[in-house]
C-alpha cells in the first residue's frame, strides 16, 4: 500500500506590482504569490501538488505553516486517507497546538488548504481522473464522507446532505455531458484593475469582448469620481452594439435575471475589496448605481456578517446585490452569511477555505438557500425562486487553475481544463453533483502568469 514519505514546499512570487496587475483599493501594491507543497510517496509514479495564494510578503510564513501541517501525514497510507476524506480533513485541523493559532482561520488555515488540496490531487491521480470527475463519480455516501459537518449541523446534517445528493442523482450524467459540450460561463477581472489607466481599461475591455466575455468586473473604492468615470467608460463599450461582431447573441434571459444587464446583455460587477465601513459602502455604491452593477463585492470587512446584511438591505431597492467570500475564513462564516441573508452571490475560494473538503460543505449549505427575485413578464411582475449562485473567487495566480473543478468548465467564453486539481473544479462539482444548475453562475478568469502552469485554462468563445 502506497505511503507518504516526504514533502517539499516552495515560495513562488510574481512581480505584479510592477504593472499594476491585481491592484485594488485595499491591495494597491501586491505581488501575486503561491505557497506550494509537493507530497512524495514510496511510489515514484505518484506525487501530489497543492497550493494556497498570497500577495507577497508573508508567503514564506505560510510555507512554514504548511510544513507544520504536512508533518502530520508523513507515514500515512494513501488509501486510509482516501477512504474518508472528511475524517482526513478533521485530522489535518485537529492538532491542538496548531489549532490554537487559528482556530480554522488565518495562516494555519491557508496552510491546511495547501495540504488538503495536495491530498485530493493524490487521490485524483491515483484514480486516473481529474478532480471534478473523481467527485462527480462518487456516490452520495462517498461525497458526504468527503467533507465536514462540524459546527454547521444546525444548518445541514449529513442525513440532509445525503437526501439532497440522492435527489440530484437523476440527470447527473446528462449534466456532465452538457457541460462537456458547451462549457461553463465565465467573467473577466483582468480589464478592471485599479491602477490601470482609462486607455488600458478600454483596450482590455474591447479585447475581452472579442474573446467572448459578456460579464466584466472592475475594482472600486479608492476615489469616487474615478470609479464613476471608469464605470461609465466600461458601460459605454459593453452596452454599444457596435462593439460586438454581427454573429453575437446575448446570453439567455434566465442567466441574466436580476443582473442589471445592459441592452447588449452585458453585465458589470464591482469589487471594493473590504475598503469601506458599512455606511460608506452604502452611500458609495448608491452613488455608482447609475452604472447598474449586478453586485458590489466585499463592500466591508469580511468578518462583519451583519454589516453585509445591512448593506444588502439598503441596496436591494436599487437591484444591486452583495457578493463576498474570498476572505471568508471558513464554513462557519459562510453559514452566518447565508443565515443572515447577507449575500446574493457566494464566492468560495479553495485556497482561503481549507481545501476541497471544506469547500464541499459550503456547496451543500449554499444549495439549501434560495432568494426570491422579481421577474417581469409581458403580463405581470412576479417573484421567482433562485438558488444563490456559486461564483468562485479565482483572481490570483493558480486560483483559476483550482476553481474550475469546483464548478466545471467555462462557456461564453468556455474554459476547459485537464489537470487533476483546478479551481474551476468547484464549479463543475457544484453543477453536476450538488445544485444541478449553472444558471446565473459565472466563474472568475484572470490572465496572469498562466505560462508557468503545465495545464492552463482554455478559453473558447462560444457566444
For residues 315 and 344, what is the distance between their CA atoms, to the nearest angstrom? Answer: 11
18 Cβ contact list (under 8 Å, min separation 6): none
Closest CA to 390 of 358, 351, 345, 356: 345
H helices of 168-197, in order, are 172-182
For residues 222 and 25, what is the distance between their CA atoms, to the nearest angstrom? Answer: 5
Spatial contact of 187 and 216, defined as CB atoms under 8 Å apart? yes
Q: How many CA atoms lie within 13 A of 129 on its CB side?
A: 14
Spatial contact of 274 and 298, defined as CB atoms under 8 Å apart? yes
Q: Is 308 annotated as catalytic?
A: no
- Please report which helix (H) or strand (E) contains residue 460, including its range: strand 458-460
Q: What is the DSSP string of 324-380?
A: E-TT--SHHHHHHHHHTT--SEE---TTTTTSHHHHHHHHHHHHH-EEEEEEE-SS-
Q: Is the peptide bond before 413 cis (omega within 30 degrees of 0)?
A: yes
Spatial contact of 148 and 89, defined as CB atoms under 8 Å apart? yes
For residues 107 and 102, what is the distance between their CA atoms, to the nearest angstrom? Answer: 8
H helices of 288-330, in order, are 305-315
Q: Which of 219, 308, 402, 405 is catalytic?
A: 219
Q: Is 219 annotated as catalytic?
A: yes
Q: What is the DSSP string of 39-97?
A: EEESSTT-EEEEEEEE-STTHHHHHHHHHHHHGGGTT-BHHHHHHTHHHHHHHHT--HH
Q: Which of 292, 393, 402, 405 is catalytic?
A: 393
Spatial contact of 51 and 115, defined as CB atoms under 8 Å apart? no
Spatial contact of 431 and 437, defined as CB atoms under 8 Å apart? yes
Buried b (16+ CB within 10 A) or exposed e, 427-439: bbbbbbbbbbbbb
What is the torsional sign of CA 145, 149, 153, 155?
negative
Name the 3-class secondary structure at 386.
strand
Cα 388 to Cα 51, 75, 97, 246, 437, distances in angstroms: 27, 41, 37, 33, 10
- Among all residues, which ones are annotated catalytic? 219, 393
Amino acid at each position: 500500500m502506497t505511503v507518504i514519505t516526504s514533502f517539499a514546499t516552495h515560495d513562488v512570487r510574481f512581480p505584479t506590482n510592477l504593472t499594476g496587475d491585481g491592484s485594488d483599493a485595499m491591495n494597491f501594491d501586491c505581488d501575486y504569490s503561491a505557497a506550494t507543497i509537493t507530497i512524495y510517496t514510496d511510489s515514484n509514479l505518484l506525487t501530489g501538488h497543492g497550493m494556497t495564494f498570497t500577495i507577497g510578503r508573508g508567503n514564506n510564513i505560510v510555507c512554514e505553516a504548511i510544513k507544520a501541517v504536512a508533518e502530520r501525514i508523513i507515514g500515512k497510507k494513501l488509501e486510509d486517507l482516501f477512504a474518508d476524506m472528511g475524517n482526513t480533513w478533521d485530522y489535518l485541523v485537529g492538532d491542538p497546538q496548531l489549532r490554537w493559532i487559528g482556530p480554522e482561520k488565518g495562516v494555519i488555515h491557508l496552510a491546511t488548504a495547501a495540504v488538503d488540496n495536495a491530498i485530493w490531487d493524490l487521490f485524483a491521480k491515483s484514480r486516473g481522473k481529474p478532480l471534478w470527475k473523481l467527485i462527480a463519480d462518487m456516490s452520495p455516501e462517498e461525497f458526504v464522507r468527503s467533507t465536514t459537518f462540524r459546527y454547521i449541523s444546525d444548518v445541514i446534517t449529513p442525513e440532509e446532505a445525503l437526501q439532497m445528493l440522492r435527489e440530484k442523482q437523476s440527470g447527473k450524467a446528462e449534466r456532465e455531458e452538457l457541460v462537456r459540450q458547451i462549457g461553463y460561463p465565465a467573467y473577466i477581472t483582468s480589464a478592471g484593475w485599479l491602477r490601470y489607466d482609462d486607455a488600458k481599461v478600454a483596450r482590455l475591455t474591447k479585447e475581452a469582448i472579442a474573446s467572448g466575455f459578456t460579464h466584466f468586473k472592475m475594482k472600486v473604492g479608492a476615489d469616487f469620481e474615478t470609479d464613476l468615470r471608469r464605470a461609465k467608460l466600461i458601460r459605454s463599450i459593453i452596452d454599444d452594439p457596435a462593439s460586438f461582431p454581427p454573429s453575437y447573441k446575448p446570453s439567455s434571459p434566465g442567466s441574466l435575471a436580476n443582473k442589471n444587464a445592459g441592452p447588449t446583455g452585458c453585465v458589470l460587477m464591482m469589487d471594493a475589496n473590504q475598503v469601506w465601513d458599512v455606511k460608506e459602502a452604502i452611500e458609495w455604491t448608491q452613488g455608482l448605481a447609475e452604472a447598474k452593477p449586478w453586485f458590489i463585492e466585499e463592500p466591508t470587512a469580511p468578518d462583519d456578517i451583519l454589516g453585509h446584511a445591512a448593506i444588502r438591505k439598503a441596496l436591494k431597492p436599487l437591484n444591486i446585490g452583495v457578493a463576498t467570500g474570498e476572505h471568508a475564513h471558513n464554513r462557519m462564516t459562510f453559514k452566518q452569511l447565508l443565515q443572515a441573508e447577507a449575500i446574493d452571490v457566494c464566492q468560495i475560494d479553495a485556497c482561503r477555505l481549507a481545501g476541497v473538503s471544506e469547500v464541499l460543505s459550503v456547496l451543500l449549505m449554499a444549495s439549501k438557500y434560495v432568494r426570491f427575485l422579481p421577474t417581469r413578464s409581458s403580463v405581470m411582475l412576479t417573484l421567482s425562486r433562485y438558488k444563490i449562485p456559486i461564483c468562485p473567487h479565482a483572481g490570483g495566480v493558480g486560483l483559476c487553475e483550482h476553481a474550475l473543478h469546483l464548478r466545471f468548465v467555462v462557456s461564453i467564453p468556455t474554459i476547459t481544463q485537464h489537470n487533476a486539481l483546478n479551481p474551476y473544479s468547484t464549479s463543475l462539482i457544484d453543477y453536476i453533483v450538488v445544485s444541478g444548475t449553472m444558471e446565473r453562475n459565472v466563474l472568475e478568469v484572470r490572465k496572469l502568469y498562466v505560462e508557468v502552469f503545465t495545464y492552463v485554462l482554455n478559453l473558447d468563445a462560444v457566444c
